[in-house]
Chains A and B, each alone.
Chain A
Amino acid sequence: MAYLEVNHLCVKADTGKTIVHDASFSLNKGEVLALIGESGSGKTTIALSLMGYARRGTHIAGGDVRLGEAHLKDLPALRGNRIAYIAQSAAAAFNPSLNIMDQVIEAALVHRIMDRAQAEAKAIELFHALALPFPDTIGQRYPHQLSGGQLQRLMAAMAFITDPDLVILDEPTTALDVTTQVEVLRAFKQVVKDRGATAVYVSHDLAVVAQMADHIVVLNHGEIKEQGTTAEILHAPKDDYTKLLMAAAEPTNRVVVDALVQPVPLLEVRGVNASYGNRPILKDINFTMQRGAMLGVIGESGSGKSTLARVIAGLVVPTSGEVRLAGDILPAALSAREQEHFRRVQIVFQNASTALNPAHDVAQILARPLAFYHQLKGEAAQKRLLALIDMVKLPASVLTRRCTELSGGQIQRINLARALAAEPELVLCDEVTSALDTVVGAAILDLLAELRRELNLSIMFISHDISTVRAICDDIMVLYQGAVVEHVRGSDFDQVRHHDYTELLLSSVPELRAGWLEERKARTA
């Protein structure tokens, strides 16, 4: 008999809307099951219901979850003891005012499974198993002293401290850089295997799931689309939605014809240094971008890629160096720039939900640059608004709505439309697809490629995802610790010998097949 069984589970919002509809699956002891789907597919809701928990404003409306002998109503008593949960953002899940050790062993103490000394010894043993640095003393530190990848592994230690029967991992590596993700995945896999734990792994990333799971359940809009072993899903997907997910995960080539790029320098960055306080962020950045080009800037968090965009946009004043736009020097400080400078360079931020003012509706947001830069009012403005909305492929009905009522993909389109409203020469796209689901992100990339073709835009595309950048950019620049370590043409990317760091980045992107993690381990060992 299966160890974990979910039978006809239904979760509804209190308003009556169905969030999860009739979900059934089972899992044997010692196996790993992956729940995969986009945001809003109900994957986290199902994961939470495995603990007998429903988020505020929702309730479990029907069906049963059985774990061993325990049924749905018994599950809450097992939380933190026999069932453990690892949340997506460890940085937000740790209490900043308690040290690590106290938080890791809390569950064991609360459930009176061990005394303090035993629990601490167990925790240190887990720190070793998870390959954490300074395992004997790391417990004395506080969350702000540790990196995201370390916290994510500590969170796993927290989950495993009680030797749980079921571990639920909710997008545990989504917030991490690729190179960190590989280490964390490896540590997770090892510890799950060693302890023979049964695990449920929630993710939107098929390639990651392929490394971790024995079984995959594909979800969309609260319904199970397909389930099977990892090999079945990856090699012979039956459902259309699964195929769509697979297609979005495979990098497709959107590189545009070279004819778009004119041999005229548009953006020239010369010897730019920038720092926050005494900490240097950018070190002697030099590059030239041609008019009509799409330049991909890759780097991990902390590499200075966003700072570079902010320097060009004028939000950060560099300590030295100059930025030229079509030959004219762009003044470093915002206050020294003129309206025309502002119009020609537009920045699009990663998180559209914070980059658009929640107090204004879409029409107000888009009308502002029209009135401000082009003095468009009344009917002319209205016409241009509709054209803009059409350009980003949204229905005109969104104009009267606020951003809080729209989906992530839609507001990212509005965010783009606002930049386009200024009719800029250079658009700085700062991680515009990172906060989006794979399928939605792919659609945004298609849109960018199309806009570029139609409007002859020059785009600086900043990302941490090397496969995305390779797919859409015709120039690729790699930033590492604030310096440019590589700058090549996209078409030459596969031929040239790469900088060691670029190689590391390339080899860290999980591939869509089982066994990649082990192979890579063998290669790097």
Chain B
Amino acid sequence: MIRSLPLSGKIGLATVIFWLLTAMFGPLLAPHPVGEFVDMDVFSGISSTFPLGTDYLGRDVFSRLLYGARYTVGLAAAAAMLASITGIGLALTAAVGSRVLDELLSRFMDTMISIPSKILALVLVAAFGSSIPLLLVICAFTYVPGSYRIARSLAVNLAQMDYVQVAKTQGEGRWHIGLREILPNMIHPMLADFGLRFVFIVLLLSGLSFLGLGVQPPEADFGSLVRENISGLAEGAPAIIVPAIAIATLTIGVNLLIDAMRGKR
């Protein structure tokens, strides 16, 4: 399975595994606690004591990155997964269900799309206070309608295919048609969509963190690491470059892997 992946896919797989391991074991390996001030200087460069330099408050970037991976990988991946699965599930229901159900679901999703996601997030955080489960729900909620839209258009097209017609004439039930005939043929475009949504969620999370609504200090996800160290940009501090590279490798890795899986069906 792994051997049959093209080179790009292997690179993608390696990156994804690397970040998953970091997310799982990072906090155990971190040399310093996440919020501890360890350096008198701010934005110091790479040194043997601080492998990735220090941030705008003199904290160890390496440790903060190891802690942050949990939020970005865990929270963003879980939210993207939740959004995609809900979207696909509802889309299949709409595609094999009655016209009325399809119409109801689709119009409901249109309504959802028209609600500005950041404002909604603001209201929800103001009402319930920021917490990880709430962030997860907000991120998933925001991206369900988009996922639904794409999945539904795929599913409705696939539902016209001859093999679905054959399944209907054989008397197959709706669940069988949805899950066995339609779903396997839309999984690839949906994985590509998942990759995109994952990137969007990383960005949304960092946006929320910037507004002070996301992951709460002293904890930080990759997005908020970039945001909080933005003043180091002029100095070219590793504190801003390294989290940016982390986001890039993670998203590119996920997308490389997904693209490579498309080739073999």
Contact = CB atoms under 8 A, between A and B. Distances in A.
Interface of A: 313-315, 334, 337-339, 341-343, 345-347, 349, 351, 354-360, 368-369, 372, 402, 404, 418, 422
A127 B114 CA distance: 52
A356 B184 CA distance: 13
B162 A355 contact: yes
6 contacts: A313-B169, A315-B168, A354-B163, A357-B185, A358-B265, A418-B166
A346 B161 contact: no
Contact of A349 (B165, B170, B180, B265): B165
Contact of B184 (A313, A337, A360, A404): A360
Given A315-B165, A334-B169, A359-B265, 10 more contacts: A334-B171, A346-B169, A347-B166, A351-B162, A354-B161, A355-B166, A357-B181, A369-B170, A372-B171, A422-B170
A418 B165 CA distance: 14
A423 to B, nearest CB: 12
Interface string B173-200: 0000000110011000000000000000
Interface string B145-177: 000000000000000011101101111100000
A355 B168 CA distance: 12
B4 to A, nearest CB: 15
Given A358-B265, A359-B185, A359-B265, A342 B170 contact: yes
A197 to B, nearest CB: 40
Which 9 pairs of residues, A with B, have the shortest CB-CB distance?
A: A342-B171, A359-B184, A355-B162, A354-B162, A313-B169, A357-B163, A349-B162, A359-B185, A347-B169
Nearest to A364: B180
Interface string B181-221: 10011000000000000000000000000000000000000
Interface string B250-265: 0000000000000001
B7 to A, nearest CB: 18
A418 B162 CA distance: 14
A358 B172 CA distance: 18
A355 B163 contact: yes
Given A349-B162, A349-B165, A358-B185, A372 B265 contact: no
B158 to A, nearest CB: 10
Contacts of B163: 354-357
Most buried by B among A313, A342, A357: A357
Nearest to A314: B169
A339 B172 CA distance: 9
B169 A345 contact: yes
A339 B161 CA distance: 22
B77 to A, nearest CB: 25
A334 B168 CA distance: 8
A404 B264 CA distance: 12
Contacts of A339: 171
A372 B184 contact: no
Contacts of B171: 334, 337-339, 341-343, 372
Contact of B166 (A334, A349, A358, A372): A349
Given A357-B185, A358-B265, A359-B265, A346 B170 contact: yes
A414 B184 CA distance: 20
Interface of B: 161-163, 165-166, 168-172, 180-181, 184-185, 265
Nearest to B171: A342
B248 to A, nearest CB: 32
Contacts of A338: 171
Contacts of A346: 169-170
A498 B170 CA distance: 37
A351 B172 CA distance: 21
A339 B170 CA distance: 8
A334 B185 CA distance: 24
B169 to A, nearest CB: 4
B169 A315 contact: yes
Nearest to B168: A334
A131 B165 CA distance: 40
A505 B181 CA distance: 39
Contacts of A369: 170
Contacts of A349: 162, 165-166
Nearest to A312: B169
B53 to A, nearest CB: 48
A359 B171 CA distance: 20
A418 B172 CA distance: 14
A274 to B, nearest CB: 16
A358 B264 CA distance: 12
A358 B166 CA distance: 14
Contacts of B162: 349, 351, 354-355
A357 B185 CA distance: 8
A301 to B, nearest CB: 17
Most buried by B among A334, A341, A354: A354
Contacts of B169: 313-315, 334, 342, 345-347
Contacts of B168: 314-315, 334
Most buried by A among B161, B162, B165, B170: B170
A354 B164 CA distance: 9
A357 B184 contact: yes
A358 B184 CA distance: 9
A349 B166 CA distance: 8
A343 B172 CA distance: 11
Nearest to A338: B171
A398 to B, nearest CB: 17
Nearest to B161: A354
A356 B170 CA distance: 13
A14 B171 CA distance: 45
Contacts of B180: 357, 360
A402 B264 CA distance: 12
Contacts of B170: 342-343, 346, 368-369, 372, 422
A418 B181 CA distance: 15
Contacts of B181: 357
A286 B265 CA distance: 46
A334 B163 CA distance: 16
Contacts of B184: 357, 359-360
Contacts of B161: 354
B170 to A, nearest CB: 5
A338 B170 CA distance: 10
A98 B165 CA distance: 34
A315 B265 CA distance: 30
A316 to B, nearest CB: 10
A358 B163 CA distance: 9
A23 B265 CA distance: 35
Most buried by A among B161, B166, B185, B265: B166
Nearest to B188: A359
Nearest to B185: A359
A369 B176 CA distance: 12
Nearest to B173: A372
A338 B162 CA distance: 21
B200 to A, nearest CB: 28
Nearest to A339: B171
Contacts of B265: 358-359, 402, 404
Contacts of B172: 372
A111 B108 CA distance: 53
